Amino acid sequence: MARRFIVAGNWKMNTNIEEGILLAEQIQHGQRNPETEVILAVPYTHLFPIKKKIKASSGIRLAAQNCHDRNAGAFTGEISPTVLNTMKIPYVIIGHSERRMYNNESNELLASKIQAALNNGLKVIFCCGESLDIRRSNEHVNFVKQQLEESLFTVDSTTMKHIVIAYEPVWAIGTGETASPQQAQEMHAAIRKMIHNKYGKRIADNISILYGGSVKGSNAKDIFCQEDVDGGLVGGASLDSSDFLKIINSL
């Protein structure tokens, strides 16, 4: 297990297949920092066609944006972690703030999803973070601690090497509020300390913790230079290849 520098692009429900292929190819052929691992979390419909276009040697990996906690069954519209495994998709995002908000995903459900993903050989990008009300009440550290304890910390130490954490300050996304690099560092350091307390120093020192609060080419360098920030989970800026490449090269 080694602490890696990662920039992950979450395309959410954007681009059609042709647009997605073009965007992935622009990122693949762009000038990129070879020490930064690049992950593209694309819509389910795009996974297979983009996988065929991305060279294994490019250093770009694909991620699903979600998966179910069952391998199969009568779950219309869901995606099986077993299917993702057979497609050789290496990563899956679990616990994104939008899934928590719009799909009412509980910490208990997320714990089950994490285990299902790991059982199927997937690496997990686990998202955590607090709302504006919780930030203003100064309960943000305790809130994130509860998210980790009730979801991620059900994983044993031997499988933590398959986990990447993404901290999402939900309060700084689309609210007009801005998270400073120092605020990002504060929470990343707190998360790393929580991991240290649960799993020990070696695992805490080597797990990658990404920042997911409206990262752009203009602010990425200031955020990424913080000691405990190991990259970003990027939303809107990942849909523009030039901006996304600038973010990648900020590490």
Q: Answer yes or no: are the C-beta atoms of 49 and 70 closer than 8 Å.
A: no
pLDDT digits (tens, 9 = 90+) for 1-10: 568 999 999 9
Q: Whole-angstrom Cα distance, residue 158 to residue 149?
A: 17
The reported pLDDT for the residue numbered 176 is 63
Please give the full DSSP string across 158-225, using - where no structure is assigned.
Answer: GGGGGEEEEE--GGGSSSS----HHHHHHHHHHHHHHHHHHH-HHHHHHS-EEE-S---TTTHHHHHT
Q: Answer yes or no: are the C-beta atoms of 59 and 34 closer than 8 Å.
A: yes
Q: Which residues pair with 60 in a beta bridge?
A: 38
The number of residues making up the chain comes to 251
The reported pLDDT for the residue numbered 197 is 98
Structure tokens at 19: 């647009």
Q: Which residues are catalytic?
A: 96, 168
Q: Whole-angstrom Cα distance, residue 122 to residue 149?
A: 21
The DSSP code for 227 is: T
The reported pLDDT for the residue numbered 1 is 52
Tokens 């020490």 sit on residue: 35
pLDDT digits (tens, 9 = 90+) for 87-139: 999 999 999 999 999 999 999 999 999 999 999 999 999 999 999 999 999 99
42-51 CB burial, b ≥16 within 10 A, e <16? bbbebbeebb
pLDDT < 50: residue spans in the chain:
none
The reported pLDDT for the residue numbered 179 is 83
The reported pLDDT for the residue numbered 214 is 85
Q: Whole-angstrom Cα distance, residue 218 to residue 207?
A: 26
- Per DSSP, the chain holds a count of helices (H) and strands (E) of 11, 8
Q: Answer yes or no: are the C-beta atoms of 184 and 213 closer than 8 Å.
A: yes
Q: Whole-angstrom Cα distance, residue 127 to residue 57?
A: 28
Question: Among residues 10, 31, 30, which one has the least CA distance to residue 20?
Answer: 10
All structural domains of the chain, each given as residue ranges with its CATH number in brackets, are 5-248 (3.20.20.70)
